[in-house]
Structure 1
Amino acid sequence: MTGDFRFGVNMVVPDSRAAWVGKCRQAEDLGYDVVSAADHLGMAPPFPALVLAGEVTSRVKLNTFVLNTPFYNPVLLARDVTGTDQFTDGRLELGLGAGYVKAEFEAAGMPFPAARERVDHLERTILELKRRYADPEHKPAPVRPEGPPLLLGGRGDRILTLAAGHADIIGFTGTGKSADGAPLTLATAEDIEERVAFVRGKLGDRDAEFNLLVHFVNTAEDRKTGLENLEKLVRGEQPIDQLAQLPTALVGSPAEVVEQLHAHRERFGLTYYTVLEHNMAQFAPVIEALR
């Protein structure tokens, strides 16, 4: 952890063993706290990838960011989770999601359930995992009796309610509301603030860490130019004054981004950020500036 913050990098590019090893070591050397493996067809298989990452690093946590839970049988998933937890000496963070890419279900020859059904399956999976963790007959056993820390990611009311009841880490996607199975859109700062307020209302006295997936990073240019380029990239979906408030867009010099992180912590309660693999090196000066 760097100060009050944690930073993860989500690996999304399938690679050779040597390339995977190299970039996991690089992430740790750059100061990241978490190495994550995404769960999409055409990417590295999450659990083997994290076991290998654990073998070649010593400090970083290892996270599934996030599993497409409807693809998994809960009992078989419990075996893979606790086995990976054992093989990484308890460094696993388990990230679960309800799944949202209709094309992946079709490619797998599976029906694309309604959002309600996918969240139902996610809830059944969480309860089954907890039951297995507590069962002394379950082997391999988790390193901690309660199992690895649970991250639940999503934006809808039901999944965030589920996260407020069960998750150690609540992951906000930073995407806007869209029709089920439709392309994702970029949430405004007000959208994210509303989702955070919704979760706080459901948490009650329970504590949880707030995570955000960062969609855009630009620390190589001055902030004004960076925001202008971002406005072009999103094709005017949001004007510059709105983009400047987004916690999903960290733009400016490392010192300016550090200021943004502190402002976002005050406004949204965000202390754990995950950047995408292609932004790993670019975001690293921000981590250095926080030390």
Structure 2
Amino acid sequence: MTYQAPLRFGVNTVWSGDRAAFVEESRKAEKLGFDVIGVADHLGFPAPFPALVLAAEATERVRVNTFVLNAGFYNPTLLAREVATVDRLTGGRLELGLGAGYVEGEFATAGIPFGTARARIAHLAHTVTELKRLLGDAGHAPQPVQDPHPPLLIAGAGDRLLELAATEADVISFSGATKGPNGIRIPAGSDAIAERVAFARAAAAGRVEAIELNLLVQQVARDVAPLLDRLRSRMPDLTPQALADSPVFLFGTARDIADQIAELRNRLGLTYFTTFGHSMELFAEAIELLR
């Protein structure tokens, strides 16, 4: 099957806390043609919701999203208040990205039990249920601009998480990472990502056409060699072939990268691609060729 759905592009940031630099980066992303500005949720960096309000104030058309909130850090009732407030402050431009959390050290720093993957996913499922209930209740204040709630993105890779996303999410985001030797996270290859996409599509069943599929692209670069040298400090067995085979790393000219994106859309139905600020300019050149 060949998929021809429209494409969307996002840029994800880990805001340093410098207001002027973040405003400049947000405006640059909009000018370069990105559709969504995302902010990550990690301890040691500024909180995502205030940053998204600033990004929306600094821009005119781009949507803003949490990419992604660690659901384990949040009480669902209090989170619903944050989501509704930010959706109102941004004029209905918010997209809510959620994940189960995977950095054990951050849970320890926050004094929150890390628990098993099953427990974290169960909390994520409970959070989604409560958010939909509260945000869809006309008697609950505040209410979001978007009815019944901002679009929901769920990110991850495991079976239970993808089953939850297939049932509840408007967007499923594939992390593109897998566990290698000694538990080290390594880039997933093309076949592995294709299998995860197929699994999510099968789990979505009758609602599959209503779900947008996102891929988080870790790096966009003209040359594979410098990146390979950096990654080998953490992944000594990583080969150029394995890196080139992973769809979360796109290499070559803008034309090469545009062709790779088009191939992923046509083969897997991936239509929403997010990268990081350090890859924004080259990625934007590819975006221009695809529109």
Q: TM-score, normalised by structure 2?
A: 0.91
Alignment correspondent of 2:279: 279
Amino acid at match of 1:205: G
Cα pair 2:12 2:276 within 8 Å, conserved: yes
Alignment correspondent of 2:43: 41
* Pairing partner for 1:216 from 216, 219, 239: 219
Q: Work out the CA distance in 2 between the residues paired with 1:186 and 1:13.
A: 24
**Deviation for aligned residue 1:110:** 1.8
Q: Work out the CA distance in 1 between the residues paired with 2:172 and 2:186.
A: 20
**Deviation for aligned residue 1:201:** 0.8
Alignment of 1:220-235 (within 5 A): 226-235=223-232
Alignment correspondent of 1:16: 18
Cα pair 2:15 2:51 within 8 Å, conserved: no
Once the two structures are overlaid, the 10-residue window that deviates more, 245-254 or 60-69, is: 245-254
**Deviation for aligned residue 1:264:** 1.2
Amino acid at match of 2:123: H
Q: Work out the CA distance in 2 between the residues paired with 1:43 and 1:273.
A: 24
Alignment of 1:1-291 (within 5 A): 4-177=6-179, 183-206=184-207, 207=209, 208-219=211-222, 226-235=223-232, 237-291=237-291
Report the 3-state secondary structure (helix = DSSP H, G, I; strand = E; otherwise coil) of the residue aligned with 2:125. helix
Determine what percentage of the aligned residue pairs are the same residue.
50
Amino acid at match of 1:165: T
Amino acid at match of 1:190: D
Report the 3-state secondary structure (helix = DSSP H, G, I; strand = E; otherwise coil) of the residue aligned with 2:95. strand
Deviation sequence 1:247-270 (CA, Å, 0-9, x none):
211100001111111111122211
Amino acid at match of 2:224: L
Cα pair 1:67 1:97 within 8 Å, conserved: yes
Q: Work out the CA distance in 2 between the residues paired with 1:132 and 1:28.
A: 32
Cα pair 1:189 1:242 within 8 Å, conserved: no
**Deviation for aligned residue 1:74:** 0.3
Q: Work out the CA distance in 1 between the residues paired with 2:224 and 2:51.
A: 35
User: Is there any run of 5+ residues in structure 1 with no aligned partner, and where?
Assistant: 220-225
Cα pair 1:14 1:42 within 8 Å, conserved: no
Q: Work out the CA distance in 2 between the residues paired with 1:191 and 1:166.
A: 23
Cα pair 2:17 2:46 within 8 Å, conserved: yes
Cα pair 2:171 2:213 within 8 Å, conserved: yes
Amino acid at match of 2:15: V
Q: Work out the CA distance in 2 between the residues paired with 1:50 and 1:66.
A: 12
Report the 3-state secondary structure (helix = DSSP H, G, I; strand = E; otherwise coil) of the residue aligned with 2:10. strand
Deviation sequence 1:83-129 (CA, Å, 0-9, x none):
11111111000000000000101111222111111100000000001
Q: CA 1:22 to 1:231, structure 2 compared with 1: closer, same or farther past 3 Å?
A: closer
**Deviation for aligned residue 1:15:** 2.6
Q: CA 1:19 to 1:143, structure 2 compared with 1: closer, same or farther past 3 Å?
A: same
User: Is there any run of 5+ residues in structure 2 with no aligned partner, and where?
Assistant: none
**Deviation for aligned residue 1:234:** 3.7
Deviation sequence 1:152-203 (CA, Å, 0-9, x none):
00011111000000101000000014699x5422111111111111101101
Q: CA 1:87 to 1:202, structure 2 compared with 1: closer, same or farther past 3 Å?
A: same
Q: Work out the CA distance in 2 between the residues paired with 1:169 and 1:263.
A: 20
**Deviation for aligned residue 1:56:** 1.1
**Deviation for aligned residue 1:144:** 2.4
Q: How many residues in Structure 1 have an aligned counterpart in Structure 2?
A: 282
**What value does the CA root-mean-square deviation take over the aligned residues?**
1.9
Q: TM-score, normalised by structure 1?
A: 0.91
